[in-house]
A and B are shown apart, each in its own frame.
Chain A
Amino acid sequence: MAFRDGPFQDLKLPLTLAVVAATVVAILAALVLLIADRREAVAVSGFASARNLVARGLSPAGEVLEAPVRWTGDVIDAVGGYFYAVSENHRLKARIRDLESWRDEAVALRNVNERYEALLKLKTEPPAPSVAARSVLDVRGPFGNARVLDAGAAVGVQVGDPVMSEHGVVGRIVGVVPHASRVLMLTDVESRTPVLVDRTNARAMLTGDGGPNPRLEYIRGQDPVKEGDVLLTSGDGGVFPRGLPVGVAAKDLRGAWRVRLYSDLTPIDYVRILLFQDFAATIDPAALSAPAVPPLTAAEAADRALALAKATAPPKPTPAAQTPAKPPAPTP
């Protein structure tokens, strides 16, 4: 007997209403969740815990799924390496010759730069340690771009750490569990990265929109960007260290500036997570927001100056010290 022949076959309207009501309730529940889920509070919210829990479960599954891909890639690389060894050798030799001149220039510039830094007493960022990780799962849709990595809090990874491929910045960590972490890619719609144009030092905001080439917004200065300009992280806001390579500026069909990411040059498989401490984490917000001492009145300032003068004045010589003891008369 089919279900439509049951005792409720004539009960049509209430069923319709029930289904519509259930759909409306479910839509409302989805809306409430959507409003309540603030992803900027990623490290503390209950939603973040749920996401981290899923990342914990996904990491082993991703490793299983990714293993055949990696093995296949290794086999293709091995076969390609065998057949193209000679041409690859020529190419690499030419590249080494090119890079050697760059190396000499870099050594000279580093030397000069260190002298300038020492002379100007510049406080530069210390080099950040890093850990290697493998990308095991990948979300590429227009409404979200993220990856799951197989390294987590157990090796010191924290929320906010920048992630780089061998070519450039990939994104930053937004969720961590002991043995896995989730990266928000530069291309994600919620990703905002402060960058600078290497040639002009102009600042801009790299804004992901789910496409392969994120937008360049809030560009400051007059004509600060040209086609092919190199973009680096600016370090503004302390989320990323300054100077990490991001990509190259390019105009889209509508004339808006976009960025061809360096990290998009090759598949992102192995990455480097920089254990970079966010600038905001090194300062004490309470100390910064402490109320300032009100300025002194003129009389108070005069008293204070007098007290300071007294405190810094050389001690008065004692009378004994003033009149040094006469040396005993020499006896003949």
Chain B
Amino acid sequence: MIRKRPTPVQRPGWIIWPMLASLAGTLLLMTPLRIAGLSLPEPVFPMVLAFAWAVIRPSVVGPLALLATGLLLDLLWGAPLGLWGLALLMAYGGAVVSRGLVTGRGTLMLSVWYLVLTVIAFTSAYITTMLRARVAPDLPSVLWQFLATLALFPLAQRLIAFFEDAEIRSW
């Protein structure tokens, strides 16, 4: 009997490797480097996962892995536990709900979708922080991190393209 070779999305690697890569990227940009008075940007790397995992294949493992990634991100950044888990899951939920409308479209549509989901994640983090700390976070700083996160869209696109047959699935 010929044993079928599992497709990329059937292997656990489609969850684990991107997750580890996003945490490694976060850790790398935590280096205290300052050039000409400017620090390194600090994008939310797991936002790529919240978007790409929903596009590649909606899976029960996805939100749970995203929660774990968010918690690890909170621990790395010293943020309240659950802050980024909640923000990423809100974006993931939005992606899953609207998936049928957007999958299979062009890059422009995907990038607009990514932008909308990033807005959802940042709005969630903003409101949560405001409620907890009773201080509205500095808007220019939020905008700076938001733009840095938007700049990660090509990574999300490559991750989606890597799992070839995923974008056609509609349900």
Interface residues of A, Cβ cutoff 8 Å to B: 1-4, 12, 15-16, 18-20, 22-27, 29-34, 36-37, 39, 47, 50-51, 54, 58, 61-62, 65-66, 69, 135-144, 146-147, 174-175, 182, 184, 189-190, 207-212, 215, 267-269
Instruction: Indicate if the CB atoms of B140 and A211 lie closer than 8 Å.
Output: yes
For the complex of A and B, 8 pairs with smallest distance between CB atoms: A211-B138, A34-B82, A33-B82, A142-B141, A138-B32, A30-B85, A146-B78, A30-B86
* Stretch among B53-61, B103-111, B112-120, B154-162 lining the A interface: B53-61
Q: List residues of chain B with CB within 8 A of the CB of A36.
A: 81
Q: Which of B10, B63, B76, B165 contacts A23 (CB 8 A)?
A: B63
Which residues of chain B have C-beta atoms less than 8 A from A141's C-beta? 42, 77, 141, 145
In the complex, the answer to whether B75 meets A142 with C-beta atoms within 8 Å is no
CA distance A51 to B81 in the complex (A): 9
Inter-chain contact B58/A16, CB cutoff 8 Å:
yes
- Distance in angstroms between the alpha carbons of A54 and B79 in the assembled complex: 12
Q: Bound state CA distance, A269 and B171, in angstroms?
A: 53
Cβ A144 vs Cβ B85 within 8 A: no
In the complex, the answer to whether A23 meets B83 with C-beta atoms within 8 Å is no
Known: A37-B81, A66-B31. A51 touches B141 (CB 8 A): no
Interface 0/1 of B4-17, CB less than 8 Å to A: 10010110000000
On chain B, the residues within 8 Å of A136 by CB distance are: 32
Which of B86, B133, B140 has a CB less than 8 Å from the CB of A189? B133
CB distance from A245 to the nearest CB of B (A): 20
Inter-chain CA distance A139–B30, complex, in Å, is 6
What is the CB-to-nearest-CB distance from A62 to chain B, in angstroms, rounded to a whole number? Answer: 7
Q: Which of B42, B77, B78, B83 contacts A34 (CB 8 A)?
A: B83
Question: A138: which B residues are within 8 A, CB to CB?
Answer: 30-32, 39
What is the 8 Å Cβ interface bit string for chain B, positions 121-132, against chain A (1 contact, 0 not)?
000011011001
Complex Cα distance, B7 from A1, in Å, reads 8
Known: A33-B82, A210-B138. 12 other contacts (CB 8 A): A3-B7, A3-B9, A15-B171, A19-B60, A30-B85, A37-B80, A37-B82, A54-B75, A62-B31, A66-B31, A143-B79, A212-B141
Identify B133's interface contact among A15, A16, A139, A190, CB under 8 A: A190
Chain B residues positioned under 8 Å from A268 (CB to CB): 32
B32 x A135 contact (CB < 8 A): yes
A267 vs chain B, min Cβ distance (A): 4
* A142, B67: Cα distance in complex, Å: 21
**Which among B4, B57, B78 has the highest number of chain A CB atoms within 10 Å?**
B78
Cβ–Cβ contact B32 & A267, under 8 A:
yes
Complex Cα gap A54–B57 (Å): 31
B residues 1-36 with Cβ under 8 Å of A? 4, 7, 9-10, 27-28, 30-34
Nearest-Cβ distance from residue B70 to partner chain A, whole angstroms? 7
Selected from B30, B64, B85, B165, the residue in CB contact (under 8 A) with A33 is B85
